[in-house]
Amino acid sequence: MTHVRIAATAILAFSVVAITGFPALAAPAKCNAELRKCNSHCNLVYESSRANRTCRNRCKDNFYACKARPS
């Protein structure tokens, strides 16, 4: 049981160090929020399936561009 706790603590510590050391690893959370907001906008604004699908594709493009952006 003690080894499991030590391993879990080490993994948690490594994760914190990795995220604070590499800000790009924290970017996907921001990008995910932007994607959800964009998809919600598409659902509210566009009624036709084709327009909604086009809007969602634009959201996906923006999502991938967001992930590729340096933070």
- C-alpha neighbours within 13 Å on the C-beta side of residue 6: 3
CA atoms 28, 61, 47, 44: torsion sign = positive
User: Mean of the pLDDT values across residues 10-26?
Assistant: 55
- Does residue 22 surpass a pLDDT of 90? no
pLDDT band at 70 (very low <50, low <70, confident <90, very high): confident
Q: For the chain, which residues make up each domain, given as ranges? A: 23-71
pLDDT at 37: 96
Contact yes or no for 34/63 (Cβ under 8 A): yes
Global pTM? 0.59
How far is CA 10 from each of CA 4, 23, 64, 65, rounded to the nearest angstrom? Answer: 10, 20, 31, 33
Place of tokens 């932007």: 34
Place of tokens 């924290």: 26
